[in-house]
Amino acid sequence: MKITISEQAQYSTQIVFIFEGSKPSIVDFEGKKEEISVRYNNENTKIYCGLGPKKNCTDEIVRSAAGVAIRKGADLKRSELSVIVPVLKRKGVRAAQAAVEGILLGSYTFTKYKSDNKTSIKKVEVVTKDLSLSAVKALAKIKEGVFLTRDLVNDNASVITPQKLAEEAKKIAAKNKQLSCTILSEKEIDKKGLGLLKAVGQGAPYPPRLIILQYKGNAKSKETTAIVGKGITFDSGGLNLKPSGYIETMRTDMAGAAAVLGTMKTIAALKPSINVIGVVAAAYNANDGDSYFPGDIYTSYSGKTVEIHNTDAEGRLVLADAISYCIKNYKPTEIVDLATLTGAIVIALGDMAAGLFSNNDSVAEKLAKAGDACNEKLWRMPLSEVHSDSMKGELADLRNMSKLPKRHAGSSAAAAFLMAFVEDTSWAHLDIAGVAFNDRESRGETPKFATGFGVRLLLTYLLGKSFGLA
């Protein structure tokens, strides 16, 4: 999809945003939030899209309405569209940017396995005076990152293997000289002592990988943020096999890793003056004769030993080694990890927000703010000594499943396990199990299936408002 900017609409299909109660009046259309109405006049089509009352209108409302409107345009099989961006001058509101975000994000479809896989929308013209062409281009680069993440999460587990994730990382690094890519093979994972990542991946025909993308955009700054993603390319549960009803979507258990790669893709394109390290712990948690055993003890990269009480609690294991390896070899000033880590977070928060756990209030607050700004919301969850104590082992230093009663605080316990590996580094953990995959219908800018959650959140957090957007 090619996106341009102009002062006058030229295409015969136009998306027009209307505030509730504004003129001109349109018959049988009130302009209520996300109300859509298509009107034809000779060769011209207008897709009216309601925003609700002007005084209540926010970026979130505009972004969401734009997502709904562009899907309508796609349903109508239009190849060219003009989008008349709403004018809304209020402090803190960036309506034009939000409209373009909604248009770009809402236009996504995963058509790889459809016989008829032609995408209908080829050109979008944004009609506005409130946004520069460079801002629109930056938004399009963010969209590219989100789309990569969605594509990786939607595709087959037999296609998106640990090796494939490594290849994607190499492709991203090839685009930018400030980016370097290091891949640890299964042999190197073993030799260097990443015993937890090795254990989780050992039953699989597709061997594990540790993937590191280092972006140095600011030599003068001592600050480096590491973003670390859980990359379980399929989570069968291991020998503690998942039952029907739980296993079917487990190709998406690499959504954290996909968000890291999507973010790094956009960083490679935007070239901001910051330092970021993207780390992916990639493995297939298979159910096989070579799989790791419940009851066994494995030694992590940090030296801490872990009792395996359940092979389905594998995400924390691979992340622990990735975090330790990153701290020891790259010394980041802060770490943000993203993981489809627990079913418990889906019960607590559904798909309204990701769980946020942190050992640093200021990092947590900034992340939550970034989430509100881009509508990838976070909700802070408790993390205390009770949770850390529940993860202490009997024969080993730690256990991979908490001692708390069944169904008690599973997400906090998992976060406490990770915290045992972050030492004194500022750290936040985002449990994205409920938000990475939308099993309801499309809504606003969020499509059905993979959502790409995390890319815009991390970019908003890392770049703030420093990349030339209005």
Count of residues in contact with ligand BES, rule CB under 6 A:
16
Site string for Zn ion, 61-100 (x = CB under 5 A): ----------------------------------------
Our CA dihedral for 311, 313, 316, 319, rounded to 10 degrees, sits at 50
CB of 251 to ligand BES, least distance (A): 11
- Given 125, 151, 253, 334, the residue binding Zn ion (CB under 5 A): 253
- Does 401 help bind ligand BES (rule: CB under 6 A)? yes
Give SS3 for 186: helix
Stretch that binds ligand BES, among 108-116, 135-143, 337-345, 422-430 (CB under 6 A): 337-345
Greatest distance between any 2 Cα atoms in the chain: 78
Residue 344 partner contact from ligand BES, Zn ion, none using kind-dependent CB cut-offs of 5 to 8 Å? ligand BES
Contacts with ligand BES in 345-364 (CB under 6 A)? 346
Asked if 247 is part of the footprint of ligand BES (rule: CB under 6 A), the reply reads no
**10 Å Cβ neighbour count for 137?**
14
Nearest residue to 205 (alpha-carbon basis) of 285, 280, 298, 313: 285
Upper half-sphere CA count for residue 408 (Cβ side, 13 Å): 9
Question: Which single residue brings its beta carbon nearest to ligand BES?
Answer: 343
Question: 90 an active-site residue?
Answer: no
Q: Among this protein's residues, is 316 annotated catalytic?
A: yes
Q: Which is nearer to ligand BES, 151 or 235 (CB)?
A: 235
| Catalytic option among 316, 377, 399, 456 | 316
Contact 139, 97 (CB under 8 A): yes
What does the alpha-carbon distance between residue 405 and residue 389 come to, in Å, rounded to a whole number?
Answer: 13
Q: Is the dihedral of CA 94, 95, 96, 101 positive or negative?
A: positive
* Residue 315 lies near ligand BES (rule: CB under 6 A): yes
Q: Which stretch binds ligand BES (CB under 6 A): 274-282, 296-304, 310-318, 454-462?
A: 310-318
Count the residues of the shown chain that bind Zn ion, applying the rule CB under 5 A.
Answer: 5
Among 231, 256, 272, 315, binds Zn ion (CB under 5 A): 315
Helix or strand (DSSP H, E) at 351: none
Which of 242, 400, 236, 427 shows the shortest CA–CA distance to 318? Answer: 400
Q: Which is nearer to ligand BES, 45 or 340 (CB)?
A: 340
Stretch that binds ligand BES, among 62-70, 99-107, 148-156, 339-347 (CB under 6 A): 339-347
Task: Give the amino acid at 381.
Answer: M
Structure tokens at 18: 């209307």
* Interface with Zn ion, residue 232, by CB under 5 A: yes
Active-site choice (242, 304, 366, 403): 242
Strand partners of residue 386: none
Query: Least separation, in Å, of the C-beta of 441 and Zn ion?
Result: 25
String of DSSP letters for 88-149: ---TT--HHHHHHHHHHHHT----TT-SS---S--EEEEE-SSS-HHHHHHHHHHHHHHHHH
Tell me if 334 contacts Zn ion by CB under 5 A. Answer: no
| Least Cβ distance, residue 163 to Zn ion (angstroms) | 19
User: Of the candidates 287, 310, 359, 426, which one interacts with ligand BES according to CB under 6 A?
Assistant: 310
Strand partners, 84: 16, 127
Residue 355: its H or E element: strand 354-358
Residue numbers of the site for ligand BES (CB under 6 A)? 235, 253, 310, 312-315, 340-344, 346, 401, 410, 433
Catalytic annotation, residues: 242, 316
